[in-house]
């Protein structure tokens, strides 16, 4: 009887745990969807101000302006992640985590925007016109690098909490290495659908991929023993 009760309790724990990670993936995907839509809206508005910045000074100004697209994405994603993580890490600072996420998201948008900005105008590499395949490969490489940086900066908010940091860095590298190509692939279909719809599709797919990778990473971070 006691063994049966123990088995039942074990099943209930597994179900609850599995439900936690399903919620994690869904909320991460939704957060990235909203964040990408807000960020892309800002990016499109900024691009309309000066579609072809001429000269290094204006290119840098446009880069800084477009980099601010990372603020809404970082705020939404950071707040969602911090609230989910605080269930197992109640001492986690939501403010520190969200701030770190915003900072690294701004860096990511700046890196992503640099291709289009510095490939035009005086002194730019105007002859460089990558194919879709080349763009996806570059996006994957960029996603791996930025994902590792993304996770690394975020883990600065984990100081003193006694959890392993490396799974989060690896998880973000893998998640964004897969997710960023999805965003770029969606963006490449601009002639087929409205920008907002493409942003929604790319953000949702990328968010789901990042959600799965970070769910596994967080499970490894907080596993006892």
The per-residue pLDDT for 18 is 72
**Distance between CA atoms of 74 and 36, rounded to whole angstroms?**
10
Residue showing tokens 């969807």: 33
Indicate the DSSP class of residue 157: G
Range of the domain at 152: 2-222
CA distances from 82 to 33, 69, 91 (A): 17, 20, 11
Per-residue pLDDT tens digits of the chain, which is 225 residues long? 444 444 444 433 444 467 788 999 999 999 988 988 888 888 889 888 888 888 889 889 999 999 999 999 999 999 999 999 998 899 999 999 999 999 999 998 898 788 778 875 444 444 556 677 788 888 899 889 989 999 999 999 998 888 999 999 999 999 999 998 888 887 776 556 676 677 778 888 888 999 999 999 999 988 765
Residue 209, C-beta contacts closer than 8 angstroms, at least 6 positions apart: 175, 178, 179, 182
The per-residue pLDDT for 192 is 64
The per-residue pLDDT for 167 is 95
The per-residue pLDDT for 224 is 60
Domain count, the chain: 1
Using a 10 angstrom Cβ sphere, with 0-12 exposed, 13-18 middle and 19 or more buried, the burial of residue 47 is middle
The tokens describing 149, both together, are 């940086």
**Distance between CA atoms of 36 and 40, rounded to whole angstroms?**
6
**Distance between CA atoms of 43 and 73, rounded to whole angstroms?**
12
């Amino acid at each position: 009887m006691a063994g049966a009760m123990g088995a039942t309790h074990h099943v209930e724990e597994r179900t609850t745990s599995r439900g936690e990670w399903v919620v994690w993936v869904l909320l991460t995907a939704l957060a990235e969807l909203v964040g990408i839509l807000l960020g892309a809206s800002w990016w499109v508005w900024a691009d309309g101000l000066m579609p072809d910045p001429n000269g290094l000074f204006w290119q840098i100004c446009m880069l800084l302006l477009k980099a601010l697209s990372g603020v809404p994405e970082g705020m939404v994603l950071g707040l969602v992640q911090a609230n989910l993580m605080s269930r197992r890490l109640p001492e986690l600072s939501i403010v520190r985590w969200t701030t770190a996420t915003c900072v690294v998201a701004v860096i990511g948008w700046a890196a992503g925007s640099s291709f289009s900005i510095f490939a035009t105008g005086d002194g730019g590499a105007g002859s460089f016109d990558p194919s879709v395949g080349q763009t996806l490969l570059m996006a994957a490489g960029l996603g791996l690098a930025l994902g590792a940086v993304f996770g690394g900066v975020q883990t600065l908010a984990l100081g003193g909490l006694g959890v392993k940091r490396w799974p989060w860095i690896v998880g973000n590298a893998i998640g964004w290495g897969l997710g960023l190509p999805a965003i770029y692939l969606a963006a490449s279909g601009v002639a087929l659908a409205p920008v907002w719809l493409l942003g929604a599709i790319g953000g949702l797919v990328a968010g789901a991929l990042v959600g799965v990778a970070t769910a596994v990473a967080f499970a490894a971070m907080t596993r006892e023993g």
